[in-house]
Amino acid sequence: MKSVSLVVILLTFTSCSSLKKSLVYGGLSGGTIGAIAGSSLSPDAYSRAPNAFIWGGLGLVTGAALGYFFFKEDPENRDLPQMILRENKKMDRSEDYTGPVIIPTSALKYKVQDTDLPPSLKSKIPKPSIIELTIPERIQKLENGRTLVIEEHKATEVIYE
């Protein structure tokens, strides 16, 4: 009875941060409880080991399934739809981008001064420029009938000439 109480206490106070840990800890806990229950509830000494083995296996599968279920039900473990890229497309190259093309309403270009550079480095380092773009307000239609309004804002780009 003490071992059953210990397993129940461990189940209560164990928290898992990954799916693998949830499956392992749930399976171990369920297997332990099943083996203890099968062993202690067997009718005679001859069937004690087979009962512990069978009920331990059933407890292992049940515990792992419950660990998976409770891991997936936790809102912190769900994948948010905004974070998932559609069709496994990478967004690092401009030709892969299929979203709307945004044309800025104004652009201001500023040259960065190279006052602190020694004369030997001035010709070797490209001169940076900062471009300040004004992006107009736009409306994007999202899934499930939702609409997103993005207000006019400034964007900054650094280029090297």
Residue 136 lies in a domain: yes
* pLDDT value at residue 56: 92
* pLDDT value at residue 91: 47
Taking only the tens place, the pLDDT of each residue in 47-104 is 899 999 999 999 999 988 888 888 777 666 665 555 445 555 444 555 555 666 778 8
The pTM of the full predicted model, rounded to 2 decimals, is: 0.42
| Domain assignment of residue 145, given as a range | 99-160
Residue 153 lies in a domain: yes
Lowest mean pLDDT among 35-44, 82-91, 130-139: 82-91
Q: Judging by beta carbons within 10 Å of its beta carbon (0-12, 13-18, 19+), is residue 42 exposed, middle or buried?
A: middle
Paired tokens of 121 = 């480095």
Residue 94 lies in a domain: no
pLDDT higher than 50, residue 20 = yes
Q: How far apart are CA 31 and CA 41, in angstroms?
A: 15
Domain identity same for 14 and 63: yes
